[in-house]
Structure 1
Amino acid sequence: MKAITIYSNSWCPFCRRAKMLLDHKGLTYSEINIEAEPAKRQEMIELSGRTSVPQIFIEDLHIGGCDDLFALEHQSKLDPLLSS
């Protein structure tokens, strides 16, 4: 299984929703809270080109945000990305 990283903050409902999907699928992920680690916010922006959370990565592949993650799941494209 590939490494998953999610940049988030503690109060974001979209972050919670994305993590709930990952948890439901039994996936392990690394969470980077940009509130607790403010320097990581700039890292997230540089890697994703976006300023909003969540920003989700599978290995070095930027998936996008919560809606993008759910779109991949509904199109049955998430599991192949994780196992390829």
Structure 2
Amino acid sequence: MPLVVPGLMSKDGGSSGDDWMSKLMGKKLGDQHDEVYFAKSDLPKEHRVLKPDSMYTTDHKPERLNIHVDEDGTVKKVVKG
């Protein structure tokens, strides 16, 4: 069952990158939630995790959540598109 976080959904039914950044910033992605990890299963269907120096497409998908992580997997930036 996905995590329901009040206030995380925007008016258009999606969620804003800023809301996701506040939830993910400084955390790692894992199987469940705790002080250090955010559960991957609770991310939107359209997402991708971008590691440093990884190649990725530059196509713009407004509904996609781009999660930028550092070398140890800690979230450093979250943007939509």
The TM tier, using the shorter chain, reads under 0.3
Q: TM-score, normalised by structure 1?
A: 0.24
Question: Which is helix-richer, 1 or 2?
Answer: 1
Question: Which is strand-richer, 1 or 2?
Answer: 2
Q: Which fold has the larger relative contact order, with Cα–Cα distance below 8 Å and residues 6 or more apart in sequence?
A: 1
